[in-house]
Structure 1
Amino acid sequence: MVKMDRKLNSTRSLFFGLINKLVSLLLPFVLRTIMIYSLGVEYLGLNSLFSSILQTLSLAELGFGTAMVYSMYKPIAEGDNAKISALLNLYKKIYRFIGCIILAVGLCLSPFLEHLINGSYPNDINLYLLYFIYLGNTVISYFLYAYKQSLLVAYQRNDILSNISTVINFALYVLQVAVLFLFKNYYLYIIILPISTIINNIIVSRIVDKKYPEYVCNGSVTSEDLKEIKKRVGALIGHRLSGTVVRSADNLVISAWLGLTILAMFNNYFIIITAIIGILSIINTAITPVIGNSIIVEEVGKNYRDFNKVFLLYAWLVGWSTIALVVLFQPFMILWMGKNMLFSFSTVILLGVYLYFYLIRQTVLIYKDAAGMWWSDRYKPYAEAITNLILTLTLVNFIGVNGVLISTIISVVLIAIPWETYALFKNYFKLQPIKYYIKFATYILITLISGIVTYEICSYIPDGKFGYLIVKILICSIVPNILFLLAVCRTQEFKGLISIAIGIVKNKYIGYSKYNKKI
């Protein structure tokens, strides 16, 4: 059985993932700013609308990619090349079938586009042509080499995907900025997307072929393996549905009920939330395959201790991020978009609550995904999605955007978190989750106290100038972290995290010293 260098792979994925996220989050922010001043706010709303429609169509993927990556963990650990080749062959065939489904459903939806927009949209564009370009960009990967990415993910080499994505995205955003400056043409701006997708797929394919030549798409999986994959996919359908409803349906409802301008304003705020989620998702991407390998080769007790360390790390990062978001949102938006593009502070509070509970559950989800435990809570996503959709369609008529956010928060806090936690602790750790909930409540209390203290300090600093914003950023960087450190510094989980950090630093130093000696 092969034991991978989990710390090295995790650290490498974190480092290159961070670089990729900085490019893929900062440059779109610049792009969004240029677009709103060169083309107008409604074009931003169209971007969000098309993206949400196509995320909904991507439900056809049904979580198959996640199930396939999980299915590769064991044969990789055992060196079973024939089985991996058979899985790749299956993956390739099903992905192309999925591409056909998305294309067909996407074409069938096109006559209803105008009904998803409340009010007007820019009259100098062909709504359907733009939609078809977006649809083509989504479908391309399914017909090319997207299935080959699963090998890199299963081998814990997300850093390679990050490096490719960084280069391609950087070139994409630079070209799009140039188009906006030189031509102010939305069609040229959009047509670059499928071109970059094709190039990305080709590069990934060439690298995978060169790095893993022993794997070719041939052979068939056994009936037993196929049955297990079908079971995982069947469980993942609901999880995909829930995630799409929570993320994409909100945008569709806002567009259809409140219009493109409100949708653009909402996404001006949400792009910051997306940036925070994106940066923290680097941890998910880096450690999920690492934990998957650990679950196979380590005993449950060790994995439970590691789980508590990861939970502390997440609670700290999520708490800090939430505090910074609530304190800095309005001062930043005033400088970026102006006071006429602001939502009320109540919306900011709800965005903070949404971010906190969306992210704090990730520790449980990481371990569930790594252990392939999608069947145990297979009914949860349906309950979450239906509850969220009913509440959203009801509350948006009375309290607008706040109703959309409240609906999502209720479905996550009352349905998703308890159900997911119960499934993991009952089926894998074989423990009652009472200690987890005590830690959960403790971390919420620490975050709340730290947030109030930080907000009160920053309230003495006026808004409207960049220098004042920098001061608030410094306060948000120092005060919450000091308070969190004081609260958790004596816990076993904190001491464990410090030991891991020291070990990583020592390994890096030793590796660097050996490298210098060789030179």
Structure 2
Amino acid sequence: MKTISRTKAAYLNSSIATIAQFINLIFSFITRYFFIHELGSIYLGLNGLFLNILNILSFAELGIGSAITFSLYGPIYEHNHHDILALMKLFRTVYRAVASIIFVCGMILLPFLTDFIANKNLSSTVGNVYFAFFLALMNVVVSYLLSYKRSFLIAAQLGYIDSVNRLLFNVFTQIFQIIFLLTIHSFYLYLFIQLLLTFLSNVRITIIANKRFPYLKDLSKAERVSKDVVDYLKKNVVGMMSAKFGGVVVNGTDNLILSSFIGLSIVGLYSNYTLFLTGLSGVLTQGISAVTSSLGNLGSEAGSINRQKDIFHQYQYINNFVSVFGSFGLALFIPDVIHLWAGKSYLLSALVTFLIIENFFLIQLRQNVINVTNAYGLYWFERYKALIEALSNLIISLGLVVIFKMGIEGVLLGTIASNIFVNSWWEPMIVFQNRLHGIWKRYTFNYLAILFVGTALLFIQIFVINRLFSNVSIAEIIIKGLVFIVSLIAALIITSICAHISPIKLIKERIG
């Protein structure tokens, strides 16, 4: 098995993943533009509802894939083909079972689909909602077939291969979707194209993996995984199951609450913002999380704990800067982009915009800890955190929406509350108690500094700077660009002082 250095793998995976995700983001905006103008906000809301329901059904995966991927780090580092084949056979079996469970659960849910929609007469507007959901369901089912070798490439620090493959098929998917939206105006065909290209993408990545690692072709001769690995998986699947449940509730119920109590139109408006946030988060997170396999590889090396601590601090520093970079850009320019792209009627209020981006900011600040947790396989220790996160988010969101009639603001406040009162301290505590001991004070100081400074600057950008302009103009873009640069420099200076890290020195070390 050919290997490359951790540093080279980290930079290669991170850079290519970021570039690929950015290109995907551009094409997603273009496709969404034609989707809105050809099909309208009702279809947009319906598509967003489908995505949230299917995200909940994906709970069937239970995070087993992540646990198995972590188990691959050691055998890959040791070039142990015997254990690799055993784990890959288990991976294949699990994902086939997951695909079957999701399909069955989706078909059971199908007759009750309209219960999640405030407008019960929606079929007269958009046609057969059930057939559309079936196509969306099959896209998720197919995504689990043949995808286990994709995870192997990522564990082997070859994630850039998967990034390029995803980029090619995403571009093809969206080009064909745009063509058929303009010519046939069919939501069903839009979903079918997505289903077909998802399948072909998995076929191609399997062929690539087999060609690069021929011993992966025949898993029929692979033996069972060892008892130690089975015991580890049983233990960590419980942790991953609760973590998965927390993620599903937090990320998958927002649109369900909105569509059930408010209506699909607001879901459509909100989904435009989440498209930008998800797209940008994908770009930023790809760059940050692409080094997870390298961190896992380093964690398999004995006697490297001090180096791991140093890298963790540098990782937090980089993630903090990336988080404010993305959040400031969204705060200043997302209203203008949506105004020009979809129309002024698709804009949400300044308060809602602030809550959306503040939530984005909080989530991005967590990414370094999340990726370190994944790299070290600390899933078992998250089991209670995820459940409390999910329940607090759901209870607060429903209470604010149903009792206090707060609408979308209530949903967003529920998510923000769970991030601040649960995730912000519990997730890093897991890492510090079980792996990187003695560095929690430095981490906490850095986190609180960037949180308060970043939030204050976001408030000024949204409620002061944005309100100075009513129409998009060159002068506005220039002024906002200057505000963005000044805000970024201020955040960089404060982050550097708090972290005791010089960005120039850090760059020189990485280049050297």
- The interval holding the TM-score normalised by the smaller chain is over 0.9
Paired residues for 1:278-317 under 5 Å? 278-297=282-301, 299-317=304-322
Q: Is the 1:335–1:466 contact (alpha carbons within 8 Å) kept by the matching residues of 2?
A: no
Aligned partner of 2:142: which letter?
I
Counterpart for residue 511 of structure 1: none
- The match for 1:422 among 429, 435, 449 is 429
Residue type of the alignment partner of 1:417: S
RMSD: 2.1
Structure 2: gaps (5+ residues): none
* Larger deviation, residues 207-216 vs 323-332: 323-332
**1:275 aligns to 2:279 (yes or no):** yes
Deviation at residue 453 of structure 1 after TM alignment: 6.2
Q: Is the 8 A contact 1:61 1:98 kept in 2?
A: yes
Which residue of the partner structure matches residue 46 of structure 2? 46
- Tell me how far 1:92 sits from its aligned partner: 0.7
Deviation at 1:322, TM superposition (A): 1.9
**Post-superposition shift, 1:367?**
1.1
How do residues 220-235 of structure 1 correspond to structure 2 at under 5 angstroms? 220-235=224-239
Distance (whole Å) between structure 2 residues aligned to residue 20 and residue 75 of structure 1:
29
What's the offset of the Cα at 1:265?
A: 0.5
Alignment match, 2:417: 410
Secondary structure of 1:378's counterpart equals: helix
1:448 CA drift (Å): 4.0
Tell me which residue corresponds to 1:115.
115
Q: Which moved more, 1:56-65 or 1:329-338?
A: 329-338
Q: From the superposition, tell whether residues 492 and 136 of structure 1 become closer, same or farther in structure 2 (CA, over 3 Å).
A: closer
- Kept in 2: contact 1:320–1:447 (CA 8 A): no
Specify the code of the residue in structure 2 equivalent to 1:26: I
Q: Which moved more, 1:327-336 or 1:288-297?
A: 327-336
State the 1:477 CA deviation.
4.0
1:488 to partner: Cα distance: 4.2
Residue aligning to 1:370: 375
Residue 380 of structure 1 aligns with an amino acid whose one-letter code is K
| Residue 94 (structure 1) shift | 1.2
Contact 2:442-2:499 within 8 A present in 1 as well: no
Counterpart check, 1:219 vs 2:208: no
Instruction: Give the aligned partner of residue 190 of structure 1.
Output: 191
- Whichever residue aligns with residue 304 of structure 1, its letter is K
**Paired amino acid for 2:90:** L
Is the 8 Å Cα contact of residues 58 and 102 (structure 1) preserved in structure 2?
yes
How far apart are 1:452 and its partner, in Å? Answer: 5.8
**1:322 matched to 2:322:** no
Residues 1:478 and 2:492 aligned together: no
Relative to structure 1, is the Cα distance of residues 66 and 453 closer, same or farther in structure 2, using a 3 angstrom cutoff?
same
Judge conservation of contact 2:355–2:413 (CA < 8 Å) in 1: yes
Preserved contact between residue 54 and residue 135 of structure 1 (Cα < 8 Å): yes
What letter matches 1:224 in structure 2? D
User: How far apart are the structure 1 equivalents of 2:492 and 2:104?
Assistant: 53
Q: Secondary structure at the match of 1:404?
A: helix
2:383 is paired with a residue whose SS is coil
Conserved 8 A contact 1:59-1:241: yes
Flag the 1:146–1:210 CA change in 2: closer, same or farther, 3 A: same
The equivalent residue for 1:27 is 27
Mapped partners of 1:58, 1:462: distance in 2: 43
Partner residue of 1:380? Answer: 385
CA–CA separation in structure 2 for the residues paired with 1:292 and 1:137: 31
Give the deviation of 1:469 after TM superposition: 4.9
Q: Tell me if 1:79 matches 2:79.
A: yes
Establish whether residue 339 from structure 1 lines up as the match of residue 344 from structure 2.
Answer: yes
- The two structures have a TM-score, normalised by structure 2, of 0.93
CA distance in 2, matches of 1:80, 1:420: 32
Instruction: Identify the residue that residue 363 of structure 2 maps to in structure 1.
Output: 358
1:481 Cα deviation after fit: 2.1
Q: What is residue 248 of structure 1 aligned with on the other side?
A: 252
Q: Secondary structure at the match of 2:380?
A: coil
Amino acid at match of 1:72: L
What's the CA shift string for 1:312-367, capped at 9, x where partnerless?
11111212322222232323332233332222111111112201111111111111
Please state how far the C-alpha of 1:396 moved relative to its aligned partner.
Answer: 1.5
User: What CA distance in whole angstroms lies between the structure 2 residues aligned with 1:249 and 1:67?
Assistant: 25
- CA distance in 1 between partners of 2:358 and 2:77 (Å): 40
Does the aligned pair in 2 maintain the 1:146–1:201 contact within 8 Å? Answer: yes
* Deviations, residues 376-407 of structure 1 (Å, cap 9, x unaligned): 23111111111111112221221000000000
Match of 2:133 among 131, 138, 144: 131
Q: 1:492 to 1:254 in 2, by over 3 A?
A: closer
Take 1:460 and 1:51, find their aligned partners in 2: how far apart are those partners? Answer: 33
SS of the residue 2:291 aligns to: helix
1:210 aligns with 2:203: no
Q: Distance in 1 between matches of 2:467 and 2:54?
A: 44
* 1:510 equivalent in structure 2: none
CA distance in 2, matches of 1:188, 1:468: 42
Deviation at 1:432, TM superposition (A): 6.1
Moved more, 226-235 or 324-333: 324-333
Separation in structure 2 between the aligned mates of residue 453 and residue 390 of structure 1, nearest angstrom: 30
Change in 2 beyond 3 A, CA 1:275/1:184: same
1:472–1:54 Cα change, 3 Å: farther
2:453: which partner in 1? 446
SS at match of 1:58: helix
Identity %: 28
Deviates more, 1:53-62 or 1:421-430: 421-430
The amino acid of 1:271's aligned partner reads L
Residue 485 of structure 1 deviates from its aligned partner by 3.3
Aligned to 1:501: 507
Q: Distance in 1 between matches of 2:444 and 2:362?
A: 13
SS at match of 2:379: coil
- The answer to which of 11-20 and 77-86 deviates more is 11-20
Change (3 A) 1:270 1:478: same
Q: 2:241 maps to what in 1?
A: 237
Asked whether the 8 Å contact 1:322–1:355 carries over to 2, the reply is yes
* Native 8 Å contact 2:450 2:494 kept in 1: no
Between stretches 328-337 and 260-269, larger displacement belongs to 328-337
Verify the 8 A CA contact 1:9 1:157 in the aligned structure 2. Answer: yes
Shift of the 94–423 alpha-carbon distance from structure 1 to 2, 3 Å rule, reads: same
Q: Distance in 2 between matches of 1:457 and 1:130?
A: 43
Change (3 A) 1:362 1:373: same
**Counterpart-to-counterpart distance in 2, 1:469 and 1:197:** 41
Output the CA distance in 1 between the equivalents of 2:395 and 2:458: 32
Runs of 4+ in 1 over 6 A off after TM superposition: none
How many Å apart are 1:478 and its aligned residue?
1.4
Are the structure 2 counterparts of residues 199 and 459 from structure 1 closer, same or farther at C-alpha, using a change threshold of 3 Å?
closer
- Cα distance in 1 between the residues matched to 2:495 and 2:262: 44
CA–CA separation in structure 2 for the residues paired with 1:127 and 1:455: 38
* Structure 1: stretches of 5+ with no match in the other structure: 507-519
